[in-house]
Amino acid sequence: MCIETAENSTVDSADISVLLVDDEPNILRALRRVLRREDYRLLTANNGEEALVVMQTEPVDLVVSDSRMPGMDGAELLSRIQQHWPECRRLMLTGHADLTSTIRAINEGQIYRYITKPWSDDDLRLTLRQALEHQQAERERRRLEALTQEQNRELALLNAHLEERVQARTRELQQVADMLELAYGELKRSYVTATQVFSALISQRLPRNLQTNTQVRDLVKAYADTHHFDEELKQSLMMAASLYNLGKMTWNDQLLATPSDRLSTQDRETYQRYPVAGEGLLMALDYLEDTASIIRHHRERWNGSGYPDRLKGEEIPYGARLLGLAVDFIELQRGLVLQRRLPRDDALKLLRKLSGRVYEPEMCEAFITLCIEQAPDLGMGGDQVRSLDTRRLEPGMILVRDLHSESGMLLLNEGKQLTRDLIERLVRFEETEGTRYVLWVKLPDGDPE
């Protein structure tokens, strides 16, 4: 039980034992009456000998002893208690001007305080509370001191081997850092590869003549390489080009095959939600945050008439502007925008016509120039790049364009170095599928062919 005093001190009195020692029963009764509301566990003794017996058999926190008693007086009793139970607080009651006895009690019994008779009840209660609070504070001090000493011993043991352990740990961390650096590089490459595989799976949902992701990706890569994009933006764009159709996967076959300018009002609303749906499906993947943003905004228009957020001009993320150009260029030729398929040159003319309204003018002109100068094999220029069938492949050649099966499944990703075993497996796969593949490869350095 916690008892609060008018002086704002608190004493947990429920487990506190107080021993009252006096040879006069009236005094003991008076003391018990004064302290009965304090909820202490009160013990009594009529003389010093009885008090010592109680001390030996009961836990006692505080002793209040009369100074003058027959036989053993208060000073001697408190002195013995101090010797054997030094943590017990000691108070003396004195009703006589006995300076010698009081000094002896202070010196030998090291009493906390003496109280004169007759006493003030309030002063007596306050004095006991203060004595017990002081005792509890001293116990806590000793506990913390012991804890500090133990912690210091442990710290000394740790410090004895700290330098050696730090050096060993530093070596371990350096090894881990080196491994993480390698793993991170591989992980970034695997992100791109994973999105390409997923893109191939998306393509299986579409008819062969409507599969556009690979062509869009080639266009984006060619533009990024030509304009020397930083690696982070390039990777985000490549993944966005691979996954931009993700939000269409819940559409029915009729909606997938209907040109966007022929959609009904209801279907047009569904169509215009696909960028947001694609972003939502990627939202849980933190490393695809930029990719998701590009997908969300690739249908915005330079004049602010696009969707979903009607962004205007440079409010549209740079990557989204480029992806929108590439998507429209390919989908115009596939019949996914207009009811008829536009020839390549007509698609380029339409892009130029819409420059400044749908597309950023400067980017649109650079994109058209790229398509004209590098057509039909975007990004494949250079004397060391060849288009070869599987029978002409050699170990060491590096694939510079993703290889897809007839069904659109990704077989090998760009950057893969060919080995003898891999080439043989490709040949066997062709025989099984009853088809022939042509691969765009970079020749090994020093091989002019």
Classify residue 77 by burial, with Cβ atoms within 10 Å: 0-12, 13-18, 19+.
buried
Residues in the chain, overall count: 449
Q: Give the 3-state secondary structure of residue 404.
A: strand
On whether the CB atoms of residues 192 and 235 are closer than 8 A, the answer is yes
CATH of span 2-145: 3.40.50.2300
Looking at 305-440, list the stretches that DSSP marks H as alpha helix, in order from N- to C-terminal side. 318-334, 344-354, 361-374, 420-433
Residues contacting 80, CB < 8 A, separation 6+: 48, 52
DSSP H or E run through 314: none
Nearest Cα residue to 200 out of 208, 115, 295: 208
Instruction: Report the 10 Å Cβ neighbour count for 166.
Output: 10
Classify residue 407 by burial, with Cβ atoms within 10 Å: 0-12, 13-18, 19+.
exposed
Q: How far apart are CA 235 and CA 184, in angstroms?
A: 14
Sequence spans of domains, the chain: 2-145, 178-379, 380-449
Residue 310's pLDDT is 95
- Tell me how many degrees the CA angle 188-190-192 measures, rounded to the nearest 5: 80
Instruction: Give 184-201 as a DSSP string.
Output: HHHHHHHHHHHHHHHHHH
Alpha carbon of residue 311 to chain centroid: 32
Q: How is residue 176 annotated by DSSP? A: H
Instruction: Report the 10 Å Cβ neighbour count for 237.
Output: 25
Residue 257's pLDDT is 84
Q: How far apart are CA 78 and CA 64, in angstroms?
A: 9
On whether the CB atoms of residues 292 and 283 are closer than 8 A, the answer is yes
Q: How far apart are CA 190 and CA 270, in angstroms?
A: 32
- E-assigned strand segments in 249-397: 385-389
**Exposed e or buried b per residue across 93-105, where buried means at least 16 C-beta atoms within 10 angstroms of its C-beta:** bbeeebeebbebb
Residues contacting 192, CB < 8 A, separation 6+: 235, 238, 239, 413
Instruction: Report the 10 Å Cβ neighbour count for 374.
Output: 18
Instruction: Give 106-145 as a DSSP string.
Output: HHHS--SEEEESSPPHHHHHHHHHHHHHHHHHHHHHHHHH
Q: How far apart are CA 103 and CA 111, in angstroms?
A: 10
Query: What amino acid is encoded at 306 in this protein?
Result: G
- Per-residue pLDDT tens, the chain, 449 aa: give them: 233 333 334 445 558 899 999 999 999 999 999 998 888 999 999 999 999 999 999 999 999 998 888 889 888 898 899 899 988 988 988 876 566 666 665 656 577 777 888 888 998 888 888 888 888 888 888 889 889 888 888 887 777 777 777 787 778 777 766 666 665 555 556 666 666 666 666 666 677 777 788 889 888 988 998 899 998 899 899 889 988 988 888 888 888 888 888 889 999 999 999 999 999 988 877 778 999 999 999 999 999 999 999 999 999 999 999 999 999 999 998 888 988 888 888 899 999 999 999 999 999 999 998 887 664 444 444 445 676 888 889 999 998 877 888 777 788 888 889 999 999 999 988 888 888 887 878 877 655 44
CATH of span 380-449: 3.90.105
The whole-model pTM stands at 0.48
Retrieve residue 115's tokens. Answer: 């109280």
Residue 99's pLDDT is 61
The architecture in CATH of the region 178-379 reads Orthogonal Bundle (1.10)
Residue 2's pLDDT is 31
